[in-house]
Chains A and B, each alone.
Chain A
């Protein structure tokens, strides 16, 4: 973006922020009032409503800053608690009290979650601090430019007719003559330039300030991860339990029944072997056939649990074997180097098998191409058939099953199936090669180290970041350095300078204390500046 456009954009954004400040202040007032009402007066129903309002405002700020900086700020809120489930007696229990309707337990759960969610309190802190700090950051460039423009316009405004020949105090200098006015024009121009220059920087600072307070803190991130992992684990264990039940049922109805029959046949043959050897022979032949049939059924079962070729040769050859056994014309391209973990291989194999079976059943295809490859830590499989298209995960129950099967591994399924056109089903499972990864139900933990810096601030740091600009802007400059200068040059006007109210011996120490206080605020600011500057670069 060109320089003038940058400055103009920054000023425009500053204007927007200044305009938003009253809204934030209003919400702040509402929130604080509601806290008093809810906790002071016991009218708890106000609390969730007020938190909702706060979250809406915070989300607005996140959206605005996300759009402006191009880096969206993720939402840090914990998901809503699950609906309460009735007990065996049809009533709902909550903290030892039994309710007939789920409304109250649900309300209590919600309030508890809102109270325990750190994000709620960080939002409140933001509501309190932003109208002061944020507004200052946004307003300063605007004020500088405005005052500068005023300064540049002084010569035009000055008129000898003014009482006392003074137009105004500009930057502490009395504008008493046209000459002074002209002399002050460069000062005005300088202020203007400073304001313009500061504009984008102030906006960047404001963005970082907002991100510090409104992005998920480490604890929130962890809480969100835990909720997600819990969901995945439930899905995985549910699936496992269903599979085990299916195996038990199939074994019971198939091979177990056959082997019982086999035993009966052999003992019948034993009875007959002396009296009627020919009949015994027939029975023994039957027993042989029974055992063959049992073996056949077991073979089929085993293939549905964990295909032997997958155990013996791995995913690539297992898919090739699938291709050979299929009635369709299937071509397979495999590019897998290294060993994938067994659970991932199993999930990928069954996914491809199901998709292939689907294509055979519904697609009326002649030819299927399967591509299997692993790159950048992601295992990908695409199955393309030249059938009639129209496949959807909604209608194809098989495809839904595939999605469920790969979900515990963070796998995703994508279908492209225009009517009449070729259908492509793609499966992606993230899985770094050669490492222990992708235990179902856990999923890979996203960069624990990298996440720490990105807008996630510890509580102490948070307070420092909120306090630091205040210290800097109040203590260091006006109460410290300026007073020092005034003491040196002497002045009668005490105005708001604390040190000047102090008795004589304490004045300089006060000034120095103020300077020190102000400087202490600079360090954390510099640190955070450097840290978030480093994030933005990588």
Chain B
């Protein structure tokens, strides 16, 4: 798998390079600024881009803007955004086109190497990887929402897992349930939220995220 990495802090860039290479990925470009990133994405056409939001020269949201611009040129370009903090605002912008293949994680998540690499792979395959903290905020700000209020606590946990982009198997592992139980929960969740059921994991996740984001209006 070919990865373009954009991170201006040397230590972190070096650490991520080593980590991804140790898991069999190839870093075809490691850039430090938004302009370089855009150029690299056009030139290299990678399988996935791992991008820090805050990059020179302006140290605002250069990384995010470059990633969105690249996705406008090449839709479905998988992008995983890393940041020191997560904002619902940015999550919504990333999910706005509804096409998936997008991730938004706190930099803390790189501590857990295997899960981080799993997230990168998931995004590269067209899935989503949303940080649990941003999902928690999303659910909290939707707390007054009527249909969501009808979910049981377990169902909310499964919903959170789905919104993060995990597969049924991953959710089952995380919550110490059987896959069958998870499957049952997801069916009932979809029924309560009035969403069309789907077998495609990715489409399911997108439906959930669209629901959560669409309702915040």
Task: Report yes or no: A291 in contact with B60, Cβ–Cβ below 8 A.
Answer: no
Q: Least Cβ distance of A315 to chain B in Å?
A: 13
Assess the B89–A309 pair: CB atoms within 8 A. Answer: yes
Q: Is the CB of B137 within 8 A of A327?
A: no
Interfacial chain A residues near B112, Cβ < 8 Å? 288
Docked pose: A299 CA to B84 CA in angstroms: 8
Interface residues of B (CB under 8 A from A): 53-54, 59-61, 84-85, 87-89, 92, 106-108, 111-112, 137, 140-141, 143-144, 216
Total residue contacts A-B, CB cutoff 8 A: 54
B111 x A325 contact (CB < 8 A) = no
Q: Contact check, A299 vs B85: say whether CB atoms are below 8 A apart.
A: yes
Taking CB atoms, residues of chain B closer than 8 Å to A288 are: 111-112
Stretch at the interface among A163-171, A316-324, A507-515: A316-324
A302 closest partner in B (C-beta): B85
- Known interface pairs A292-B111, A327-B140, A327-B144; A321-B88 also in contact (CB < 8 Å): yes
Asked if A326 CB lies within 8 Å of chain B CBs, one says yes
The chain A residue with its CB closest to the CB of B91 is: A324
Check A329 for interface membership: any CB of B closer than 8 A: yes
Q: A321 contacts B60, CB within 8 Å?
A: no
- Residue A313 is within 8 A (CB to CB) of chain B in the complex: yes
Contact residues in A for B61 (Cβ distance below 8 Å): 312-313
Interchain CA distance A308-B216 in the complex, whole Å: 22
Closest to B112 in A: A288
Say how far B12's CB is from chain A's closest CB, in angstroms. 13
Tell me which of B60, B107, B141 contacts A312 (CB under 8 A).
Answer: B60
Please indicate the chain B residues that have their CB under 8 angstroms from the CB of A317 in the complex.
89
Q: Tell me if B88 and A325 are in contact (CB < 8 A).
A: yes
Is the CB of A60 closer than 8 A to any CB of chain B? no
Chain B residue nearest in CB terms to A366: B144
- Least CB distance from A504 to B in Å reads 91
CB distance from B34 to the nearest CB of A (A): 12
Min distance, Cβ B213 to any Cβ of chain A, angstroms: 10
Complex: A317 Cα to B84 Cα, angstroms: 18
Say whether A325 contacts B137, CB under 8 Å. yes
Are the CB atoms of B85 and A324 closer together than 8 Å? no
Q: Would you mind naming 20 contact pairs between A and B with Cβ atoms under 8 Å apart?
A: A288-B111, A295-B106, A295-B108, A296-B108, A299-B85, A302-B85, A303-B85, A308-B84, A309-B89, A312-B60, A313-B60, A321-B87, A321-B88, A321-B89, A324-B87, A324-B89, A324-B141, A325-B88, A325-B140, A325-B141
Bin chain A's interface residue count. Answer: 20 to 34
A32 within 8 A of B: no
How far, in whole Å, are A348 and B87 apart by their CA atoms in the complex? 19
Chain A residues, Cβ within 8 Å of B84: 295, 299, 308
On A, residues with C-beta under 8 Å from B are: 288, 291-292, 295-296, 299, 302-303, 308-309, 311-313, 317, 320-321, 324-327, 329, 366
In the bound complex, how far is the Cα of B134 from the Cα of A321, in angstroms?
Answer: 12
Question: Which chain A residue has the least Cβ–Cβ distance from B133?
Answer: A296
Complex contacts, A311 vs chain B, CB 8 Å:
59-60
In contact, B216 and A324 (Cβ under 8 angstroms): yes
In the assembly, what is the distance between CA of A374 and CA of B174, in Å?
49
- How far does the Cβ of A301 sit from chain B's closest Cβ, in whole Å? 11
* Residue in A closest to B64 when the chains form the complex, CB atoms: A312
Q: How far is the CB of A287 from chain B (nearest CB, A)?
A: 10
- Determine whether the beta carbon of A291 is less than 8 Å from that of B140: no
> Which residues does chain B contribute within 8 Å of A292, judged by CB atoms?
108, 111
Q: Do A320 and B89 touch across chains, with their CB atoms under 8 A apart?
A: yes
Other-chain contact of A324, B53, B59, B88 (Cβ < 8 Å): B88
Q: A residues within 8 A CB of B87?
A: 308-309, 321, 324
A181 to B54, CA, bound (A): 99
Q: How far is the CA of A166 from the CA of B59 in the complex (A)?
A: 101
What residue in chain A is nearest B213 (Cβ atoms)?
A: A324
Once the chains are docked, how many angstroms separate the CA of A326 from the CA of B144?
11
Chain A hits for B54, CB < 8 A? 308, 312
* Further pairs besides A313-B61, A317-B89: 6, Cβ < 8 Å: A308-B87, A309-B87, A312-B61, A320-B89, A325-B137, A366-B144
Chain A residues closer than 8 Å to B85, beta-carbon distance: 299, 302-303, 308-309
Contact B89 A326 (CB under 8 A): no
User: In whole angstroms, how far apart are the Cα atoms of A296 and B84 in the complex?
Assistant: 10
Q: Which 5 A-B pairs have the closest CB atoms?
A: A324-B88, A312-B60, A321-B89, A312-B61, A321-B87
Contacts of B111 in A (CB 8 A): 288, 291-292
Task: Kindly state the separation between the CA atoms of A431 and B204 in the bound complex, as whole angstroms.
Answer: 48
Judge whether B88 and A329 touch: CB under 8 Å: no
A321 to B112, CA, bound (A): 28
**In the assembly, what is the distance between CA of A302 and CA of B86, in Å?**
13
A517 to chain B, nearest CB (A): 71
Q: A312-B53, A312-B60 are in contact. Are A327 and B143 (CB under 8 A)?
A: yes
Taking the nearest CB of chain A, how far is it from the CB of B112, in angstroms?
A: 8
CB-CB nearest in chain A for B145: A329
In the bound assembly, the distance between CA atoms of A317 and B140 in angstroms comes to: 20
Give A305 Cβ to nearest chain B Cβ, in Å: 13
Cα of A292 to Cα of B105 in the assembled complex, Å: 13
A295: nearest chain-B partner, CB-CB: B108
Tell me which of A296, A324, A366 has the highest count of chain B C-beta atoms within 10 A of its own C-beta: A324
Kindly provide the distance from the CB of B25 to the nearest chain A CB, expressed in whole angstroms. Answer: 23
* Alpha-carbon separation in the docked complex, A295 to B111 (Å): 12
A366-B60 Cα distance, complex, nearest whole Å:
33
Give the Cβ gap from A308 to chain B, nearest Cβ, in Å. 5
* Bound form: Cα–Cα A216–B92 in Å: 57
Tell me, in angstroms, the Cα distance from A326 to B88 when the chains sit together: 11
Contact partners of A321 in chain B: CB under 8 A:
87-89
Which residue of B is nearest A288, CB measured?
A: B111
Complex alpha-carbon distance, A311 and B87, angstroms:
13
Instruction: Looking at the assembled complex, report how far the CB atom of A234 sits from the nearest CB atom of chain B, in whole angstroms.
Output: 33
Q: Closest CB-CB distance, B145 to chain A, in whole Å?
A: 10
Which residue of chain A lies nearest to B88 when distances are taken between CB atoms in the complex? A324
Inter-chain CA distance A321–B54, complex, in Å, is 17
Return chain A residues, CB-CB under 8 Å to B53.
Answer: 312
Complexed CA–CA distance, A396 and B202 (Å): 48
A327 to B54, CA, bound (A): 28
Chain A contacts for B141, CB-based, 8 A: 324-327
Contacts of B89 in A (CB 8 A): 309, 313, 317, 320-321, 324
* Chain B nearest CB, measured from A2 CB (Å): 61
A324 to B143, CA, bound (A): 12
- For B111, the closest partner residue in chain A by CB is A288
